[in-house]
Amino acid sequence: MTVSIDTILAEARDRFNFLIDYEDAQLHLLPGVLSGARRFVDVGANRGLYSYVANALLSGGEIIAVEANPDLSQQLEQNMMTWPNPNGNKLRVMHSAAGDKNTTLPFSIGVEDTLGTLTTDSDYLVEGAPTIEVAVRRLDDLLPPGPRTVLKIDVEGFEFRALRGAERHMKEPDCTIIIELHSWGDVEVGKYPHDVMSLLRQAGFGFERSGEAHQFVCRHCHPVNSWTSYLRNMPKFRAKNFLRRTGIRQLIYGKNRSSTDALRERSGIRQ
């Protein structure tokens, strides 16, 4: 008997201690997104919520969780061995961040483990947060590209560099990308969500909203459809970037937006 996505999500959220509505719309799309997939690559796997759900949905496939935070990745590797796996999937964890070059970079630990980031202008940064050095690898070097691969990318503003390191994966005609765009972007290289969308459009991808305004499922499509979806979504990200860079956004939301309590509410973790 096929287990419903609601049942899978309820079990997963209890296991990982996430709120009931955490990324609900996007997670509910996974059965369709993963239909026919051979491999799910969870970039920014965190505690493993998406990997766990993918493992329940795929059969005879491969689940690869890529996580930068060494403590989280070690915990995930240990926990993954306890997951039910009746569908015979191959499960593994890669202890690395995904970027555009093979190097090491400082990684800021958030007030909750879902909020760690490689970027320097994140809404999730708090004063005095510990910083560690983590390994960064190009996804094309970590994994050989292959057909019927779904990439999930949730890397707290590091999206542009993660995609630049996955260009061979993106050339696969049936590659699907689930991505969350973070408005603060990557100040160090001057790349923001609209730049990420431009990179994906140039690679032939179109954009379909998959939950919140910043969550998308991206697939290869006709250039007209790629341009159409790009032009429909890009202006609001450019506007958000303008408001942030000019300081208007801070005036609108006020200084309490990045308080510790507010960050914990946004982490998705049950308190």
User: Which run of H or E residues covers position 168?
Assistant: helix 167-170
Buried b (16+ CB within 10 A) or exposed e, 48-69: bbbbbbbbbbbeebbbbbbbbb
C-alpha dist (Å) from residue 84 to 12, 40, 52, 90, 237: 11, 17, 9, 12, 40
pLDDT for the residue numbered 37: 97
pLDDT above 80 (res 152) = yes
Could you report the per-residue pLDDT of 225-270, keeping only the tens digit for each?
999 999 999 998 998 888 887 877 677 665 545 566 665 666 676 6
Could you report the per-residue pLDDT of 176-207, keeping only the tens digit for each?
999 999 989 999 999 999 999 999 999 999 99
Among all chains, which residue has been given the structure tokens 């959220």?
Answer: 13
Read off φ and ψ for residue 262, nearest 5 degrees: -65, -40
User: Which run of H or E residues covers position 26?
Assistant: helix 24-28
Token pair belonging to 86: 């009746």
pLDDT for the residue numbered 271: 53
Tell me the pLDDT of the chain averaged across its residues.
Answer: 90
Confidence band for 23, pLDDT divided at 50, 70 and 90: confident
Supply the pTM of this predicted model.
Answer: 0.92
pLDDT above 80 (res 22) = no
Number of Cβ within a 10 Å radius of residue 33: 21
List all residues 6 or more positions away from 86 whose beta carbon is below 8 Å from its beta carbon.
none
Give domain 16-266's CATH number out of 3.40.50.150, 2.115.10.20, 1.10.1200.10, 3.10.20.70. 3.40.50.150
pLDDT for the residue numbered 241: 84
Where is average pLDDT lowest: 3-7, 151-155, 263-267?
Answer: 263-267
Confidence band for 1, pLDDT divided at 50, 70 and 90: low
Decide: helix, strand or coil at residue 4: coil
Kindly state the DSSP code that residue 188 receives in the 8-state scheme: G
pLDDT for the residue numbered 269: 67
Where is average pLDDT lowest: 40-54, 106-120, 185-199, 245-259?
Answer: 245-259
pLDDT for the residue numbered 67: 97
253 versus 217: which is more confidently predicted? 217
